[in-house]
Each structure stands twice: as structure tokens, then as C-alpha cells.
Amino acid sequence: EENDGDGSTVRFALDWTPNTNHTGFYVAQEKGYFADAGLTVETIDYNNVLPDTLLDAGHADFGVSFHDASTLAQASGARVVTVMAVLQNWASAIGIAANNTSITRPADLDGTTYAGFGEPAEIPLLTQVIKNDGGTGEFDSVVLGTQSYEALYSGDADFVIPFFTWEGVEAERRGTPMTYFRFTDYGVPSAYSVVINASRDWADAHPAESAAFVQALQKGYQYAAEHPDEAADILLEANPDLLTDEKIVHESQRLLSSTLMMDAQGTVGTLESERWAGYANFLFDNKLLSDADGNPLAERPDWDTYFTNKYLAD
Amino acid sequence: MSANTPLRSAPGLPLKISNVSKSFATNRDVRPVLTDISITVNRGEFVSLIGPSGCGKSTLFNILAGLDRADSGEVVIDGVTLPLTGSAKRFRHRAAHCAYMPQDDVLFPWRTVLDNAILGLQIAGTGRAEARARARDLFPAFGLTGFEDAHPEHLSGGMRQRVALLRTVLQGTNTLLLDEPFGALDSLTRTDMQDWLHGMWRDMGWTILLITHDIREAVRLSDRVIALTPRPASVRGIIELSRPRGDGFEPSITSQEMMRAETTLTTLLHNT
Amino acid sequence: MSANTPLRSAPGLPLKISNVSKSFATNRDVRPVLTDISITVNRGEFVSLIGPSGCGKSTLFNILAGLDRADSGEVVIDGVTLPLTGSAKRFRHRAAHCAYMPQDDVLFPWRTVLDNAILGLQIAGTGRAEARARARDLFPAFGLTGFEDAHPEHLSGGMRQRVALLRTVLQGTNTLLLDEPFGALDSLTRTDMQDWLHGMWRDMGWTILLITHDIREAVRLSDRVIALTPRPASVRGIIELSRPRGDGFEPSITSQEMMRAETTLTTLLHNT
Amino acid sequence: MDISRAVRTVRRLLPAILLGVLLLVGWELYVRISGVRPQILPAPSRVFAQGIAHSSDLWRHASATLQVTLIGCSLTLIVSWLIATAVDFIPWFRLSVTPFLVASQTIPIVAIAPLMIIWFGFGTLPKVLVIILVTFFPITLGLIEGFLTTSPTATALLTSMGASRWQIFYRLRVPQAMPRFFTSLRIGVTYAVVGAIFAEYVGARAGLGLYMSAQKNSFRTDLVLAAVALTALMSVALFLFTYLVQRIVAPWTVVTGKDTRG
Amino acid sequence: MDISRAVRTVRRLLPAILLGVLLLVGWELYVRISGVRPQILPAPSRVFAQGIAHSSDLWRHASATLQVTLIGCSLTLIVSWLIATAVDFIPWFRLSVTPFLVASQTIPIVAIAPLMIIWFGFGTLPKVLVIILVTFFPITLGLIEGFLTTSPTATALLTSMGASRWQIFYRLRVPQAMPRFFTSLRIGVTYAVVGAIFAEYVGARAGLGLYMSAQKNSFRTDLVLAAVALTALMSVALFLFTYLVQRIVAPWTVVTGKDTRG
Ligand SMILES: Nc1ncnc2c1ncn2[C@@H]1O[C@H](COP(=O)(O)OP(=O)(O)OP(=O)(O)O)[C@@H](O)[C@H]1O
Ligand SMILES: Nc1ncnc2c1ncn2[C@@H]1O[C@H](COP(=O)(O)OP(=O)(O)OP(=O)(O)O)[C@@H](O)[C@H]1O
Ligand SMILES: Cc1ncc(C[n+]2csc(CCO)c2C)c(N)n1
Ligand SMILES: [Mg+2]
Ligand SMILES: [Mg+2]
């Protein structure tokens, strides 16, 4: 199972069933950017094992991760590193059912029920938002995974953290729209949301191929940012049995492309210290980071070691 | 009721079987099992039924015990005629005219000896305390004193049979149907149990109909031996044995009359 | 080897058991099972062992068949002395001097009648084809012709016993140890099988040591009956029966001598 | 007497304990020598130490799991007795129920558990339903087959005494079914714990399943394994507990270890 | 003759079929009347229609699952025969192995399956290991107990013939173990499919488990249920297949339906 070839084959692990967070990858694949770089790319479909775990265990070389997941993983000693940002800001937010009139602001969430994925950062993040809005930050929580959304629609739960660019669009199309409270509106630092991670060991062993891969991927995402409808079609064509609602995909991709993918210069993929440190410090200050032995990190790490721009196009 | 109180006893013949026939419907055909069987048992008599394996002996007992119904003929027990028709359920509740003791002792491992003995009484609705008291009275006569609270697995084969017989007797009828009661015992224990049963029968005034495979057992114990044909069973011959026989019932002695009876029966049963 | 070729026959006594004792160590204590047993069986003799249940008869057979070892004493079979010491395994391979037939027939349901019969030959290393040929030769004498390819579940109890005996005989020794071969049969079939076994024994020149619970069986079949005490078994008495007896071995006739022998044995075994 | 019994028990368990120790030592040595990172394969010593360090969390979640398990088992008991009794009284019912019992074992719970949450919310109900789905089959089938072990002779005896169908059931068939029932109950409770973990894994407020899933997401393989070990312990404890119940409810079915050879 | 047998079989299955149809009709009606959304509870007609519409996908994944299942079962068979044989020859080995067999059933696979992926990657190995973990216990235990059903008298008979331990094993103990072996094999293969689904659910390149997980994330409850139904069908097919194998390998253990009462 180890990828001990010459580096021309790259295994890419997805974080979820294909969605618009992956458009750039499928564009790079379909438009031959990987092939042009001399790479064969194998997709590892999502199956309930975190991509970071796969990278760490040597079963994948690159994978989709998240700002918080990547920081947590690296703090705990996982041999991964973030090599590219897919989004430049939060694509997830607190979501409540649009017809829920009793909740008008985060402070109203006190005493209600949150349904989520059981990610470590969820609760502190929500608590922070509620507190910053003047609430106590005390609420009930339950881990339901994908079923969270059904729980929200059925009224079993009061709020969730969806990707408003994906589950949010879906909910709207379904006639059960959500209202959002954006994290950054309530004093949470902005974050990269979706990122691409590499196996440190593989990347160190194959610097050239790593650069070639990341740049091809970056090119794919850049294309997606600039041509949302064409990119959406590529994503749809690549996953005909999983993505059946064209409208959702197009709408979602337009939303991402227009607001979240490009930095101020119109470039896709860049990572910079300040934004990384902003959310990473939030995680550190909330004692969410612990080392390999499970002890809370005593000292603030050097965040610049957590990500690298060196594989990106100049 | 103390140990020696005679059991309920109605006038007339306790058992009269007239022209009983029975067949079973199998998947393929109809299998006749009993054809035109007539047997009469007088009060206090000990009658044995002997016949080849599978000839229909147990089927006849099932009919007498109310577990099954004859196709035709008549069965009168203690003056009551068993119905040939009617729902099996209604029919079943009218049974229990005679007490039936199956081949293997069927003692329940979850009941003590005493509680096994009172099973029939409990089924008939007698309270546990009263049933136990009545059973206790009979323990000495059955040689079971001291074993009231033992569990059946700690008893020897002979003792188990005595408990089973006690249970049968406690049902309160003195007409007993014994289906190969000693089939599972080894020869030596078997002989002992035959002696014991014979003694009890003599003392208690029971009417016994006994199924056996064993010619010698039949001859040793019975007033009359009825030999059956192979399936479908019909009466092949009846041998009456006088009592006292030669030297009376002396278990370990083989008398001339018994020897003759055995020879006759052997011939009857073997030359099919 | 055809059906009537006499089986291998070494000179001298086929079986001599001298002062054999045996006890088993249980969790709590040492349980003596055989004490100082001496038995001699002459060539061509039919000897029965009778004794109460659990007295140690099968243990003695196990020693003879090489399944177990005596604590002391000597066993000589066909001139070979069985060792008292040495590893069980080495010992086992020296066994098979006498052919042993257990109480229940132990026919394998996955083998046809023919293949069941050749089991001992196969174990001894004879090829299947040759073994089958040798077995086939004996089928007529055993009344099994036509049943070669039947499976045991389709045979009657008596037939099964005949297959088991055929299997025993095919082992190639003419000293047979039969442990209650007819215990599982009903009385009528049992008598038939006794007659048949007796006939075969007379015709084939076997030496037979038979365990039985049944006094009558012992008396009908044997030249000599050895009565054992309850556990620990020792020889309580030996009864010699002359042959021809009164009117010869006529199965369904009960002779005076047999009656006397039965009485003696019953007294021996019951007054413990 | 009792000491010698204890000695015998230990002697019987010794090979298993030795093998267990051997495996653990081998695992520990492998981890130490190969230097594999704890996120991938933690040493057993680490699993133990971390398990102790997080024991209060583990206990809290374990007690939630235990509670759900017990509720689920109790309901399964009620339902399976009802169904098995019905089947015993109405023979054709048996023909219609058994295929469904068998089929229920072929349903992948991984796929059904999330649906249960969609259908029944995230309270105790869906978890209990998953447990029932997992334990119902062995227990009900054990009961049905247990009733069927009743000998026809014993039934004939009772019938000849004039017993009603109901009397035959509770005086004969029920006690007769006890050995099978307890065998299947043992299998059932073992699966019940695993089923509860399962249900919690896909959605819960608390429980070892939730804990495992959360620790997995936090790269704490050692704590996942600690929770696995605790789960196994819980199953074994419940397994042994059924022996205790059996000794009380159906003492005659318990082999006393007495020498029955006389 | 054969027709009457078919008629009997159908008559035996009729109550089950009727109950099944009743449940399906009830479900369909409920969905239609309540108007519940298909993401939550799709009607059976929809599950069927969508299953047909996506049948090529389903078959592709099903064949991957089947392949893994068969490999897993084959390996389990090899391993369990080896272990059971060893246990049969070396009695103390039994004491050391049985507790582990029982313990293996108390391990929550949900938690172990992801670890298997971490340890062994995405190949066939982790899936096969999960299947072995699930099926190993019933099959091995069935074999061990099957060997133990051999009557001491039969063993004594062979020993008296001078048979070696090995001859006793293959001429007597192996055929004797067949009925138990096949009973446990039937349980084993049923669990094998579920185990494979399980393993695929947490990591696979193809297979019904992967399919279910992906469809669940896409809110396609109907396709999840179609895959569940296909899984159940596969299990039942394998289950029935063992009867065929049994009829060939051990025909004497198959009740022929002949009237044995004479
Ligand atoms: N319910 C039934 N359906 C079909 N055939 C039956 C049924 N009960 C008994 N038989 C058949 O009736 C015949 C007589 O059975 P029964 O049990 O009365 O014989 P038996 O004389 O008691 O035999 P044994 O001496 O072996 O106890 C047997 O051939 C049996 O196959
Ligand atoms: N391996 C053993 N360990 C301990 N005790 C044993 C062993 N084998 C037999 N015994 C005891 O030895 C005694 C004699 O047993 P054996 O089987 O020889 O009796 P038997 O005369 O053949 O009885 P039956 O007539 O019932 O077949 C019995 O009390 C039995 O409990
Ligand atoms: C489209 C999409 N939806 C949900 C998840 C699941 N998920 C994994 S991490 C996380 C929280 C983000 O910080 C969420 C919701 C996903 N990966 N992709
Ligand atoms: Mg009968
Ligand atoms: Mg014996």
C-alpha cells in the first residue's frame, strides 16, 4: 500500500463525497493539468477516515483538510503540512431554520440544541460566538453527522454548522432554507476553511513532484474560480452518479468562485501567516490543541511551520 | 388420603375396547395402524400387550389416554365412552380417566422428586400444599422416603421409575396405562422393578394395562398377555395365566407354566 | 479370502487374564474398579461376562482391546502379553489382537454398509479395493447381500448389528470382544439376533467374550457364564453349560438346564 | 474445597492468560522497536496509561452506553418473549416470522443506524432499536428453538393429565427452553453492547461510541483503543452476569461440576 | 413428485411472503398518505425504481463486495480449520484460544475498521481482516464443538483397531463435525457480507459499503435502502449456497425429507 514509486503517482484523499470544494481537483484531472505535469493522480474517495489520518499513516500523499483539522493534527504530531488554501474565508457558518422566528441572533442560541459532526473545534467556536453576542454560551449538543440537517428541518435540533456553499444551497433548493450567523461577524478570526494537506514525508522525499502536483491543483482551482459554470459542469460530469442536481452545483460553485476562492490579488491557493495565525491562535487559546500525549500545548507553536507556500506557483 | 386408602373405584369394567381401528394419513398414503382391536380389562387385573416394534401399541395407548382418537370402534373407561368426534381440545379436557406413564420416566429436572410427583394433581387444579401432603403420604410405600427434596438427576434409574409411577398413581385413578415402563433399565434392575411393581399392584388394587417388548416381563407380571400382530396391529392371541402360578409369584423362580407361556408367545410373535 | 476360509489361528489359549486389577484416580480419591480378576477363554469358546451396571465390565474390555492398561496382573492374548507400562501410544499400536464391538453399533452415517464393514481393514492399511472385495465375500453369510451400498440409517436395528459384527470380524482376528451387542434392540429382535450370532459362532469357529446384562442371553449363548460382583468387580461365580444342552441349541425352547442356570445366576447376582 | 476450585479455575485460565500476556508483550515490543507513532499504533502500555488518565471521561461515556444497552436488552427480552410465545402457540406464525428474523441479520447496521436517527430522532429510541435489531434474532430464535426441544412424550404426559395448552406452556415448555434461552441470551448481550456502540457512533449525546468517534477525529488512537478495551470488558461482564442470572432463575440448567460418573 | 414438493415449499413460504407484502404495502401507503420527503423515508416503489435505474452502479459495487466477501470467507475457512485442528490435537491450546474467540466478538468493529485502514491501507487486506474478525468466531467454535460431538465409543472403536490420532481425526472427527460446521458456516457467511459492508463503509475504493456511505452523504436515502436490500439479497444467496455445498460435501447430513417414521 505504501506509495514507494518514483513519485509520478500521487494519491489524493477526499474529505467528503465530491462537492464544490473539490471542483478544482476535478478540473485539474479532466483538463489534464496533472498529466501535463507528468503525474498520475489516484482519487481516494471519502469513507469515514479523515484524510489527515491517511496522510499520516502513509496511505495517501495529498488530501483535503480544514484549517482547524490541520492545526489540530499537526499539534498532535501528525506528519502533515498544509500546502494550499482552497478557500480564503469561512464557507461554514451557524445555520438555523429560516422559519425559526425565536432565534434572531447568536445570543438566542443559549439553551437550544446544536447538532454537529463532533469536530473538536465546534463547541468552542460556537461558545465564543454566542458569548461575543452577549449570551452565556451554554447550549445542548448532539453529534449526528449528516443527520444533523434532518434534525434541524424536523425541529429536533435548533442549529447546525453547514457549509452554506453546499448544504446551505441544497437546503434552499429543497425548500427548507437556513439563516446564517457568520463567525467573523461575531469576533472569530477569519480562516482558510478548506485547505490541501500533504504528507510531510512524501513531500520531503518528492519535492519536485509535490510542487508539480500542488501547482496543477492550484491551476485547476484558479480555473474554477474564473469559470464557475464550466468548472461546475466538469465536476458534474466526473461524478454522474453522486451529483444529480445541476442547479445546486452551479449555484454553489458561483457562490464560492465569486466570494471565497480568490485572495485580494485574484489568486487562488495562497496561504499567509497572519490569517493562519489568527484562527490557529483562537484554537490555541481555547486549549483545543494538545500534543501527541494528549497534554494541552504549553507553548504557542511557530505557526509558520504548519503551512508552506513553497509548492505553490510563484 | 393416607397411603392405604383404596383409590376411587367405579363399578363395572374399568376398560373396554371394542373394534377400535385407526390409520394415519401420511404424505403419500393412508397408513393403517390398528385394525379391529377388542380388549377387555377387568377391575384389578394386570394385562400386558406385547407386539413387534412399531406395530401400534403406543397409538392404542394414546387413544386410551385421550391424546388421540380412534377412527372407529368404541372405548369405554370406567363407564364413560370416549368420543370419536368433536374438537381435539374439548376432547382432551374430558380425558384423565386413566393415568398414563410413558416409556422414559419424563421427570422434570427443574422439579424436586416431591414436586414431580404432584404434577398431575397440580394440573388438575389441586393446590400445591395439599398436593404435596397427599404425595408425602405415599412416599414410604414407594420406597422414596428421604428423597422428597432431591432432584431427579440424583436418582438411580429404578428410583426414577418409582417416582414416575407415584406421579401416575397420584392422578387419582386406579387404572394405569404403563408404556414400557422398564424399557430403559438394565436387566437386573428391571427384574427388581418388576418384582416391586407386582407387589404394589397386589397391595394397592390397581388395574394395569402394560405395554412391553419383553415376553418374559409380560409372563412374569400379567394375568393375561395379549399378543399383537405387526402393523397394522390386531390381536393375534391371548394367553391367560393362572395365579398363584405353580409356586406363586416368586420373582427369581422360573416356573413350568411360565416357561410354557413364554414358548407359546415366542412362537406366536415370531412366526408372522 | 473367501467366506469360509478359517481365520488366522495361533496355537494355545486365545485369552488369559490373570489377577488383573485396575483403579481410576478421580478428583477426590482412588476408585478401584477391577480387583484380582482371572479369566481364561479357550479357543472356540463362547464366554459371557455378567455383572451389575457400572461394575467394571467395559473397563476390562478396554484393557483387552488395548484402550487402557491394567494396574497389575497379566493379560495374554494369542500368546502375546499386553504390556502394563510404556507410553499409551506405543501400547496402542500393539493392540488389535482382538476385535472389539461396542454396545451401540457405531456405524458411520457417512459410509455405506460396505464401507462401514471395511473400516478396520482400512485402518490397518489395506487398500480400499482389496478391503471391499474381502468384505463382499462375507456379505451372504451375514445376510446383508443387496445392502452393500445402502446407508446405515436405512437399516433395521438387527441389520445394523450384523454390519457392526461383520466389521468386527473383518479385522482378521477370530477373538471377538462383544460389549452388550444387543443392548439397544427390542426383545423380539434381540432373540433373533442371539440365534443368528450363535449360528455364526458355531459355523465360523470364533472365540467370543460377551458382556451382557441379561441373564437369559448369557445362558442361551454361552459355554461359560462368569458372574461379577458390583464395583470393584471380581469374579463371584462361574457357571459351565454343557453343549448340546438337553435338546441342543434350539432358540425358542427353554430347557431345564437353562432354567436352573438362570436361577443360579439370578441368586448370585441379586444377593449381593 | 473452595480453594482447590479456585486453583483449578486459575489453572484452566492460565493458557489463555499466558497467550494474552504474550500478545501484549509482543505488541509493546513491536511498537518500541519499530518506533511507530502512537497516532498509528500506540503501545498497550500507553493505551492503559491514557485510559487511566481519562478514566473519568471513559466511565461517564461507558455508563451512558451501559444504560442504553440495558434498556435495549430489557426491551428485546420483552419483545422476544412475546413473539416467541406467539410463535409457539400459533404454528403458522412461525413460518412467517422466522424468515424475517434471519433477514434481520443480513441488514448492514452501518447503513441503517443513520437512517434510524433520521426517522426517530437522536434520543434513546433509535439506539434501542438498533440494539433490538442486533439482539432480537439470536434471543427469539433461541427461545423458539428452546420451546421446540420439549419432548413429545412429556407433552403427551401433560395432555393425558388434562393440561391445557397454556399449562403445557408454562409448566413444561418454558422451563424446558431455559438452557437454550440462556445460551442465546449470552450471545445477545454481547451483541447488544456492540450494537449500542454502533448506534452511538453515528449519532449520540454521550456513550463510548461517540467517544471513539470523537477521539478518532482528534487523532487519539490510544483513547480509541482504550474505549475498545472498555467495551470488550463491558461485554464480558454482561456475558458473565447472564451466568449469575441463570444460576438464580434456572439453577437446574447449571452444570454443578459434580462427578456424574458415580 | 417434484411438483408436489414445490407446492409444499411455496405453501410453507406463503405466510412469510404475505407478511412481507403486507409490510411493503403498509410502508408504501404510509409514505403516500403522510407525504414524508424521500430523503427521510422513500417509498418502497421509489427504492425499487431507483435501484433499477442505478442497477449498473449497484452491480459494480456489489461485485466488489462479493469478491471481498468470498476472499474473506475462504481465508476464514483456512484459518479456522487450522486453528480448530490444532485445538483438537492439543487440548490445552483450546483453553488458551477459546477466550480470545469469545473476546473477538466483543470488539466494536465500527471502531476497529478505521484503525484497520490506518494500519493496512485501502487494499483487500483490511477488509478481509474485518471479515475474518466477524466470521472467525462462529466458524471456528462450530468446528471445535463439532469435533467434540464425536462419541467416545466411536473413538474407542477406532483406537481398538489400532488407528492413529490422525486417522481418528480424518476418518471420524472430521465427518462427525460436518453438521455443526455447516450450521456455523451459514451464520458465518451471513456475517461476512455485513462485515464486508462495514469495512467498505470506512474505507474502500469500491463496494456496497462505499456506495451507501457516499449516497448517505448525498442525501439519497432511496439508494442507501436499495443497497441495503441488495446486501440482504446477497447474504441470503450465500446462506442458501451453503446448503448446496453441504449437499455435495456432506450429503449424509442433509435431511432428505423422507418419512423416517417407517
Ligand atoms: N402421527 C403419526 N403420523 C403418521 N404415522 C404415525 C404417527 N404416529 C405413529 N405412526 C406410525 O404408526 C405406527 C405405530 O406407531 P406406535 O408408536 O404406536 O408403535 P409402537 O408399537 O408403540 O412401537 P414401539 O414398540 O417402537 O414403541 C408406526 O409405524 C408409526 O410410524
Ligand atoms: N476414566 C474413568 N475415570 C474414572 N472413573 C471411571 C472411568 N471409566 C470408568 N470409570 C468408573 O468405573 C466404573 C466401571 O465402569 P464400566 O464402564 O467399566 O462399567 P460397566 O460394568 O461397563 O457398566 P455398564 O454395565 O453400565 O456398561 C464406573 O463406576 C465408572 O464410573
Ligand atoms: C461538503 C461537506 N459537508 C460536510 C463535511 C463534514 N465536515 C468535515 S469538517 C466539517 C467542519 C468544518 O470546519 C464538516 C462540516 C465536509 N467535509 N464537506
Ligand atoms: Mg411405543
Ligand atoms: Mg459398559
Reported as a pLDDT band with limits 50, 70 and 90, residue B95 is: very low
What's the CA gap between A212 and A219, in Å, rounded? 11
Across the interface, of A45, A47, A53, the residue whose CB is closest to E118 is A53
In angstroms, the CA E58 to CA E51 distance is 8
Residue D11 burial by Cβ neighbours in a 10 Å radius (0-12, 13-18, 19+): exposed
Within 10 A of A238 (CB to CB), how many other CB atoms are there?
18
Give the percent of chain C with pLDDT over 90: 33
Cell of C79: 500368546
- What pLDDT was estimated at residue B226? 94
| Strands of the sheet with A80-85, listed across from one edge | A40-44, A9-13, A62-66, A194-199, A80-85
Measured CA to CA, the distance from residue D73 to residue D75 in angstroms comes to 5
d(CA A109, CA A106): 5
Q: Is residue E262 part of a domain?
A: no
- Our measurement of the distance from residue A23's CA atom to the centroid of its chain's CA atoms, rounded to an integer in Å, reads 13
State residue C90's pLDDT score: 47
E184 and E99 belong to one structural domain: yes
Specify the ligand 1 atom closest to the Cα of B180: 27
In a domain, E261, yes or no: no
Residue E21 CA to residue C141 CA, distance in Å, equals 62
Domain locations in chain B?
15-98+175-270, 107-172
> Is B58 touching ligand 1 by the criterion CB < 6 Å?
yes
In this complex, the residue of B92, B93, B102 whose CB is nearest that of residue D153 is B102
Asked whether E and D share 3 or more beta-carbon pairs under 8 angstroms, the answer is: yes
How many domains does chain E divide into?
A: 2
Average pLDDT, chain D: 88
Segment E7-47, tens digit of pLDDT: 877 887 888 888 899 999 999 999 999 988 888 899 999 99
d(CA A119, CA D223): 16
Region A189-215: mean pLDDT is 95
Q: Cis peptide leading into C232, omega within 30 of 0?
A: yes
The nearest alpha carbon in chain E to C61 belongs to E160
What is the interface pTM, i.e. ipTM, of the complex?
0.82
Determine whether the interchain pair C27/D259 forms a contact, defined as Cβ–Cβ distance below 8 Å: yes
Q: What is the C-alpha to C-alpha distance for residues C84 and C66, in angstroms, rounded to an integer? A: 10
Is B54 in Cβ contact with E259 (below 8 Å)?
no
CA–CA min distance E174, chain D (Å): 25
pLDDT tens, position by position, E83-128: 999 999 998 888 888 888 888 888 888 888 888 888 888 788 989 9
pLDDT of residue A94: 96
Residues E122, E203: contact at Cβ < 8 Å?
A: yes
pLDDT tens digits along B206-240: 899 999 988 888 888 999 999 999 888 899 889 88
Give the domain extent around D87.
43-256
Query: Kind of pairing, strands A113-116 and A140-143?
Result: parallel
In sequence order, what DSSP letters do the residues of C242-267 get, joined into one string? -SS-TT-S-TT---HHHHHHHHHHHH
Residue C243 pLDDT > 70:
no
Q: How confident is the model at residue C6 (pLDDT cuts 50, 70, 90)?
A: very low
Residue type, C242: S
Query: Among positive and negative, which fits the CA dihedral E25, E27, E30, E31?
Result: negative
DSSP string, C40-99: EE-TT-EEEEE--TTSSHHHHHHHHTTSS--SEEEEEETTEEPPSSS-HHHHHHT--SSE
CA-based nearest residue to B93, from D158, D150, D153, D88: D158
**Ligand nearest the Cα atom of residue A148:** 3
Same domain, residue pair E134 and E96: yes
Using 50, 70 and 90 to split pLDDT, how confident is the model at A223? very high
pLDDT of residue D207: 92
Distance CA D181, CA D183 (A): 5
* Separation between Cα atoms, residue A268 and residue A265, nearest integer Å: 9
Question: Binning pLDDT at 50, 70 and 90, where does residue A31 land?
Answer: very high
Please state which of the ranges D1-5, E81-85, E229-233 shows the lowest mean pLDDT: D1-5
Q: Test D162 with B65 for CB contact under 8 angstroms.
A: no
User: Residues E181, E186, E187, CA angle at the centre, nearest 5°?
Assistant: 100
Q: Among the ranges A109-113, B48-52, B75-79, which has the highest mean pLDDT value?
A: A109-113
Q: Is the CB of C33 under 6 A from ligand 2?
A: yes
Count Cβ–Cβ pairs < 8 Å, chain A vs chain E.
65
Spatial contact of D190 and D238, defined as CB atoms under 8 Å apart: yes
Cis peptide before A124 (omega within 30 of 0): no
3-state SS assignment for residue C39: strand
Q: Which three cell numbers stand for residue C259?
A: 432354567
**Given an 8 Å threshold on Cβ–Cβ distance, is D219 in contact with A150?**
no
- Separation of alpha carbons A87 and E173, rounded Å: 67
What does the longest C-alpha to C-alpha distance in chain A come to?
59
What does the block give as the cell for A314?
510563484
Within a domain: E226:
yes
In a domain, E147, yes or no: yes
- B216 in C contact zone (CB under 8 Å): yes
Amino acid at B173: T
Whole-Å CA distances, A18 to A236, D39, E92, E106, E201: 9, 27, 54, 35, 16
Element (H, E) at C208: strand C207-212
- Whether residue D175 is preceded by a cis peptide bond, meaning omega within 30 degrees of 0, is no
Q: How far is the CA of C212 from the centre of ligand 2 (A)?
A: 15
Least confident of C210-219, E50-59, E171-180, E226-235: C210-219
Distance in angstroms (rounded) separating the CA atoms of residues B86 and B64: 16
For residue E68, give the CATH number of its domain.
1.10.3720.10
Nearest atom of ligand 2 to the alpha carbon of C61:
18
CA B137 remoteness from chain centre: 22
pTM: 0.84
Q: Fill in the DSSP letter of residue B8.
A: P
Averaged pLDDT for residues E231-251: 92
Query: What is the 8-class DSSP label of residue C141?
Result: T
**Bridge partners for A142 per DSSP:** A115
With a cut of 80, say whether residue B94 has pLDDT above it. Answer: no
How many angstroms is it from B245 CA to the middle of ligand 2?
Answer: 39
List, in sequence order, every residue forming a beta bridge with C48; answer none if it has no partner: C210, C225
What is the distance in angstroms between the Cα of B241 and the nearest Cα belonging to chain E? 34
D262 chain-C contacts, CB cut-off 8 A: 54
pLDDT for residue B192: 82
pLDDT in tens, C90-110: 444 444 568 889 877 899 999
Instruction: Evaluate if residue C245 carries a pLDDT over 60.
Output: no
Closest CA to B268 of C195, C188, C216, C247: C188
pLDDT of residue A130: 96
Nearest chain C Cα distance for residue D35, angstroms: 49
Q: Do C262 and B254 touch (CB under 8 A)?
A: yes
Cell readout for D71 is: 434498556
Ligand 3 atom with the shortest distance to the CA of A145: 6
Supply the pLDDT for residue B86: 53
Q: Which residues of C touch E175 (CB under 8 A)?
A: 108, 110
A167 pLDDT above the threshold of 80: yes
Given a contact cutoff of 8 angstroms between Cβ atoms, the answer to whether B209 and B47 are in contact is: yes
Contact B33 CB / ligand 1 (< 6 Å): yes
Q: Same structural domain for residues D1 and D120?
A: no
Which cell numbers in the block locate residue B90? 374439548
Q: How far apart are CA A204 and CA B158, in angstroms?
A: 87
* Inter-axis angle of helices A23-30 and A207-226, nearest 10: 110
Please give the Cα distance from A219 to E222 (Å, whole number): 37
Give Cα separations from A271 to A22, A213, A226 (angstroms).
18, 17, 19
Judge if the beta carbon of residue B62 lies within 6 A of ligand 1.
no
Confidence of residue D219 (pLDDT cuts 50, 70, 90): confident
Q: How far apart are CA E200 and CA A48, in angstroms?
A: 10
Query: Amino acid letter at C142?
Result: F
Q: How far apart are CA E76 and CA E135, in angstroms?
A: 7
Q: What is the pLDDT at residue C83?
A: 75
Q: Do C54 and D259 touch (CB under 8 A)?
A: no
Listing from the earlier edge strand, what are the strands of the sheet with B224-228?
B99-101, B175-179, B207-212, B46-50, B224-228, B235-240
Amino acid at E140: T
**B62 to chain D: which residues are within 8 Å by CB?**
156
DSSP structure class, residue C30: E
pLDDT at D261 over 50: no
* Residue A294 dihedral angles phi and psi, to the nearest 5°: 85, 5
Question: In this structure, are E13 and E127 located in the same domain?
Answer: no
Mutation for A interface: E50, E112, E217, E222, most A CBs within 10 A: E217
Strands (E), chain A: 9-13, 40-44, 62-66, 80-85, 94-97, 113-116, 140-143, 159-160, 178-181, 194-199
Assigned domain for E16 exists: yes
What is the per-residue DSSP string for B73-120? EEEEETTEEPPSSS-HHHHHHT--SSEEE-SS----TTS-HHHHHTHH
Query: Measured between alpha carbons, how far is residue E143 from residues B137, D19, E150, E174, E190 in Å?
Result: 52, 21, 12, 9, 17
Average pLDDT over residues A45-61: 87
- Angstrom distance (rounded) from CA C88 to CA B75: 64
Cell of A75: 499539534
pLDDT at B53 over 60: yes
Q: Cell for B59?
A: 397409538
Closest-approach residue (CA) in chain D for B120: D161
Q: Which residue has the cell 431554520?
A: A97
Q: Given this structure, which CATH class describes domain C15-98+175-270? A: alpha beta
Q: Is residue A214 within 8 Å of residue A21, measured between CB atoms?
A: no
